Amino acid sequence: MTERVVLAYSGGLDTSVCIGWIAEETGAEVIAVAVDVGQGGEDLDVIRKRALACGAVEAEVADARDEFADEYCLPAIKANALYMDRYPLVSALSRPVIVKHLVAAAHKHGAGIVAHGCTGKGNDQVRFEAGISSLAPDLKCIAPVRDYAMTRDKAIAFAEAKNLPIATSKKSPYSIDQNVFGRAVETGFLEDIWNAPIEDIYEYTQNPAEPREADEVVITFKQGVPVAIDGKPVTVLQAIEQLNQRAGAQGIGRLDIVEDRLVGIKSREVYEAPGAIALITAHQELENVTVERELSRYKKGVDQRWGELVYDGMWFSPLKRALEGFVEEANQHVSGDVRMTLHGGRAVVTGRRSEESLYDFNLATYDTGDTFDQSLSKGFIEIFGMSSKIAAKRDLRA
């Protein structure tokens, strides 16, 4: 029986060439799988037909936009997931949902190998292969760009020699990955970390320096889930899409960061994630109102570790799964409204309200009606500072 390979297919030059390249290198039949995570671009049916025209024996396409939003982006919002305190895991979140569909296709078509188009120096090779091995340890993985030295020049030459139905002459100076949660841009002149980004690289956001009217928005959450925008019910996907438009129009969510890649190198990345930044900002503020102090303090460490695991490709790991249980529990009371002003590249919280609020006006006020018994504070301070006071006395003796 002929070996079968399931290929993560984007419809672009590299993965189109991979179809014939894999067949020639391994003698296997190739099944192409394209997954829509809100990246836009070509129609899925066009992509499917191109895969077949490039030599795939089967081609599957999956509209995973709601799945991606509900099962991958939403947990990131609940965990306030910002790698290195800034990056909302745009690419890292999309890889496990693609992996899930690749593994399902491999089982359906009797394939023993899964292939992807990643290089050998990025994070995505780890995310694909660690994810695949976690869901299906029996499957093997290959990466033609990495394993067979499939350079861009070789890919173009192969496409022209085989007369593949794919453009080979146009080459963007950037490497771009995008989905509904955001957009990542790297390489080209950005590899010199002194060079400032130019306006041409952005698509999801407008220039925040341009004068425009501010936009006020109210986001409603229920147990950490965004359920309404300005009082109108939305799905998670719709919440992200609407805030991509509104926050993006105000230049919100632009990030220029030198980040620590999993493989050990530092890489300069430019991101646009207007909806993600707006939602995480609002969610963090509602947590400030509704989550008890010690739980909130501890959750910040859990959030950071959760984000690191996802960035590192450990979506299906036992630790990430366990931490997600904690995050879910911590979000049980994160319900209410957050009002934000979107303007000048910033999403600024201006109001918050919740029936689950732990904010007590009568305890917080300094005016008449204050119910806080200030006479208790003196004794509290004595006990709270006692251990440090005793240590200080010892140090003075020394």
Q: What is the pLDDT of residues 21-67, one digit of tens each?
A: 898 888 999 999 999 999 998 899 999 999 999 999 999 999 999 99
Looking at residues 314-331, what average pLDDT do you find? 98
Tell me the C-alpha to C-alpha distance, in Å, between residue 370 and each of 118, 285, 288, 293, 360.
Answer: 61, 25, 22, 21, 10
> Considering 95, 183, 246, 268, which one is annotated as catalytic?
95
Of 133, 134, 175, 317, catalytic = 175
| Residue 273 tokens, joined | 């994630």
**Beta pairing, strands 4-8 & 113-115:** parallel
* DSSP secondary structure letter of residue 83: B
Instruction: Tell me, yes or no, if 14 is annotated catalytic.
Output: yes
pLDDT at 169: 59
Beta-ladder partners of 204: none
Confirm if 96 and 316 have CB atoms less than 8 A apart: yes
How far is residue 145 from each of residues 27, 115, 116, 302, measured CA to CA in Å? Answer: 17, 10, 9, 36
> Residue 339 catalytic?
no
What is the full DSSP assignment across 32-57? Answer: EEEEESS--SS-HHHHHHHHHHTT-S
Global pTM value: 0.94
Question: What is the enclosing helix (H) or strand (E) of 392?
Answer: helix 386-397
Q: Are 174 and 186 in contact (CB under 8 A)?
A: yes
Query: Is 375 designated active site?
Result: no
Pairing mode, strands 232-233 and 254-260: unpaired
Which one-letter amino acid corresponds to residue 98? I
CA distances to 117, 224, 227, 264, 341 from 74, rounded to whole Å, are 27, 8, 11, 29, 22
pLDDT(102) > 80: yes
Over range 290-314, report the average pLDDT. 98
Which ranges constitute the DSSP H helices of 119-200? 124-135, 144-147, 152-161
- Residue 170 scores a pLDDT above 60: no
Residue for token pair 């030059």: 13
Angle of helix 293-311 versus helix 90-109 axis, rounded to 10: 60
Choose the catalytic residue: 14, 36, 177, 312. Answer: 14
* Digit-coded pLDDT (tens) for 254-279: 999 999 999 899 999 999 999 999 99
192 has catalytic annotation:
no
% of residues, the chain, pLDDT over 90:
80
What b-and-e string marks burial along 252-261, b requiring 16 or more CB atoms within 10 Å of the CB? bbbbebebee
Catalytic pick among 36, 124, 303, 312: 124
Whole-number pLDDT of residue 217: 98
Predicted confidence (pLDDT) per residue in 137-156, tens digit: 999 999 988 888 777 788 88
Residues 202, 254: contact at Cβ < 8 Å? yes
- Planar angle of CA 121, 122, 127, nearest 5 degrees: 130
Low-confidence winner among 186-190, 232-236, 341-345 (lowest mean pLDDT) = 186-190
Query: Token digits for 131?
Result: 């994810």
pLDDT for 355:
97
Residue 208, by phi and psi: left (phi above 0), alpha (psi -120 to 50) or beta?
alpha
Average pLDDT, the chain: 94
